[in-house]
Structure 1
Amino acid sequence: MTIWRLRPLALAAAFLLPFLAACSQEPTQAPALPEVSVAHPLAKSIQEWDEFSGRFEAINYVEVRSRVSGYLQSIHFTDGQIVRKGDLLFVIDPRPFQVELERARAELKDAEAQLRFASSNVERARKLLEKQTVSEQLYDQRVQDRDQARAAVDRAQAAVHEAQLNLSYTRITAPIGGRISARVVSIGNLVTGGSGDSTLLTSIASLDPIHFVFDGDEAAYLDYLRHARKGKGQAHQVELQLLGETGFPHKGEMDFVDNQIDPQTGTIRGRAVVPNPNNVFVPGMFAKMRLLRTDTHVALMIPDEALSTDQANRIVYVVDKDGKVAPRTVTLGPVIDGLRVIREGLTPADRVVIDGLMRVRPGASVKPKLATITPKPQPEATTLATASAPGAAQ
């Protein structure tokens, strides 16, 4: 009987033990605050640049054609070489033009002889007119003959000059300096000249200096215009980078902006002039260019990893003195030394979350860990233009 009386008590104790144990435990602790890295924006003296892509174009480009017709006698250049203004390129057989010059000179001598004879007749008629032995009409006729002879001399002199000019045109020289293309006509071929369909002989493209042409969007144009009106920035300075180079080692200056925006693309054509002493840049070559937007000024910079997106806005998260997180809309600038320029939205005293964005939400509390933002300088610029290009003028 005693055993059966104790069994209900044992069962009750077994059910009550877990509850008694739970009641004896301490209260559950609150979860630890998430730890994030925060830093003050880096204040750094910078210059802001905008990047564009474009191609080089020759400042001067000339198609070489003959001014006279004749048979090509000789060629005095190597295809693709650098030529200077005035260098002899082609010679057209000059003998027919030399003959024409001699004929013109002979006709000039004949016209001069006729003028001397007519002048003598005028002088004799004048003396006889004074003695009233000839009529005034005869005297006037002699004067007219002399004037016609003088005009004939002028025509003959012009013919001599024309023949001399045509003879000089048989020596075709470079009208500009630059790199010459391949010859189009071989020696012995008939060359036509002096007309709209004159024979193309070759072409020359100037190289030093050279133009760099690019297209900028309408927003960039208006931004530069505002800076110019405020007296800020030096938009005339440009730096260029070729394929395979690091940095922007080549320098130039803006010299032209077009007078209208292309309604099809919404862009406007710009142009810079770039020194090219080694003739490395050639027309048609692709390059990147950066254009100076502003003068040196102090800007606030943060790493791109600190940025988030809220619909159409870019935001960062800042932590106040109580550890509360709040979003802040910012206006972005370019990336310089690996950091993003913040034009608007932050102050130097703000503590920006730079690591641990996945653990923050607006209004929540965090455990901030102070860090430091350090720039990442770009590698030293390297250039492919340190040596003279093949055929460069020395």
Structure 2
Amino acid sequence: MSILRLPARQQVRVLLLSSLVMLAACGEKPQQAGGEMKVPVSVVTVEPTPTEVFVELPGRVEAIKEAEIRARVNGIVQEINFEQGSDVKSGQLLFTIDPAPYIAQRDQAAAQLKNAEADIRSARLFADRYAKLIKANAVSRQEYDNAVAQAGQAEAAVAAAKAALQSANINLGYTRVESPIDGRIGRSMVTEGALVSAASATQMATVQQLDRVYVDIPRSVNQLAQLRRAMAEGVLTRSAEGDALAYVLLEDGAEYEHPGKLLFSGVSVDPGTGQVSLRAEFENPDQILLPGMYVRVRLQQGMDEKALLVPQQAIQRTSDGLNSVYVVREGKVQPVAVSVGPQIKGSFLVYKGLNPGDVVVVEGFQKIRPGAAVQPIPWKQAGAKPGSQPGGPAGAQPEPEATPKG
């Protein structure tokens, strides 16, 4: 509708409103886009650090010596001569089996020996007499030979009687069941009045030496191959101590105070599991480690002179199950895939993906995305001294699945 068709008063109003709108439009200025806000994040700078590398593996405690106390004669248990669960010494009396039948056998064997010794004296005198008579041709050669043979038979009878007496004494000694080793004895598996048998070798108790113990550690062939390759390529070097050390982690996570020594690595592979067996020896003066106990063992691998460590919380798990970290480059964060190894005092050893000097985000992930501008702030670890590197020269967690850098 044309403005000229409106009444004069309305025309004036329309013109005034139009003028006001134009003036307002002329006064507006285009909004300027401000600079992108930088998100503060906590970061660490990755630097090569000489680090002792350990691997954490399952292990099972075994006694250094274990003696099963079994019956070696038949009889009735008369006495139990020890306190169950106590420490015993080698040669200490543990059980007494009724000795009466074996005393009788011993006395019978002794009597047979005396009888044989009496017979041999008579046979020797007879043979000596015939030796003189044969020279005078007073007896035949056959009679002389018979006398000599009887003397020999008498000597054999004496030897058999001595052996029978010795056997009777041994069996009588077996009625006193003694400990063959020093150690701790468990529960008694028989009671007074129980019949024990030598034929079935009735088990009566068990004595275990516990002042030192073994820990048997299974390890896969693949893990050993990775370790050898890392040693060959110089990624890891042997520790200055020489002997490989091992540390036990108890059920509450505390580290057992006495370090152990690796004795050997298995020379054959179990075809059922594809693993070899390692054995470490530990001092156990307080008998904290008990046979049959399952433990975690930190096994020394070697020294990585150029280890790159990042705090545990810096490692992010991607949707495809891989590991990554956020790295600050030119003021922006970028995700970088990494291959991690063992965990060392709250930090992961990174084999691949990072370079010395890389700045890695540790905290503040909720506010950032790939390509976001950030304001790096040095990360302060709780309880850490200023300037300290993450991680340390000792400690470990489960062995890595990734292949070491090389």
Shorter-chain TM-score tier: 0.7 to 0.9
Match of 1:118 in 2: 123
Match of 1:80 in 2: 85
Question: Which of 247, 253, 256 does residue 255 from structure 2 map onto?
Answer: 247
Question: Which of 15, 21, 25 does residue 9 from structure 1 map onto?
Answer: 15
> 2:228, 2:285 → 1: CA distance?
32
**Residue 187 (structure 1) shift:** 2.7
Letter in 1 for 2:211: D
Instruction: Kindly report which structure 2 residues correspond to 1:1-394, keeping only aligned pairs within 5 A, or say none.
Output: 3=9, 5-22=11-28, 24-25=29-30, 27-193=32-198, 195=199, 197-226=200-229, 232=238, 236-244=244-252, 246-258=254-266, 259-261=268-270, 263=272, 267-295=275-303, 297-310=305-318, 311-320=320-329, 322-362=330-370, 364=371, 366-372=373-379, 374=381
**Residue 32 (structure 1) shift:** 3.3
- How many residues align? The count is 372
> 1:228, 1:130 → 2: CA distance?
89
SS of structure 1 residue aligned to 2:102: helix
Letter in 1 for 2:223: A
Given that residues 239 and 290 in structure 1 are in contact (C-alpha distance below 8 angstroms), is that contact kept between their aligned partners in structure 2?
yes
Instruction: For residues 11-64 of structure 1, give each alpha carbon's deviation from its aligned partner in whole angstroms, at most 9, with x where no partner exists.
Output: 321332332122x45643343344444431154332122223343233333332
**Residue 355 (structure 1) shift:** 3.4
**Residue 152 (structure 1) shift:** 0.9
Instruction: For residues 56-108 of structure 1, give each alpha carbon's deviation from its aligned partner in whole angstroms, at most 9, with x where no partner exists.
Output: 23333333222122232322111221112211011223233223222212221
Question: Structure 1-normalised TM-score?
Answer: 0.82
Letter in 1 for 2:261: E
Aligned CA-pair RMSD: 3.0
Change (3 A) 1:229 1:273: farther
Given that residues 338 and 351 in structure 2 are in contact (C-alpha distance below 8 angstroms), is that contact kept between their aligned partners in structure 1?
yes
> 1:56, 1:170 → 2: CA distance?
33
> 2:116, 2:309 → 1: CA distance?
87
Letter in 2 for 1:187: E
Question: Structure 2-normalised TM-score?
Answer: 0.80
**Residue 267 (structure 1) shift:** 4.7
Change (3 A) 1:341 1:65: same
SS of structure 1 residue aligned to 2:211: coil
Change (3 A) 1:61 1:38: closer
Given that residues 38 and 375 in structure 2 are in contact (C-alpha distance below 8 angstroms), is that contact kept between their aligned partners in structure 1?
no
Change (3 A) 1:158 1:300: same
Q: Higher mean Cα deviation, 369-378 or 166-175?
A: 369-378
Which structure 2 residue ranges, 5 or more long, are not aligned?
A: 1-6, 385-390, 392-406
Change (3 A) 1:251 1:38: closer
**Residue 160 (structure 1) shift:** 1.2
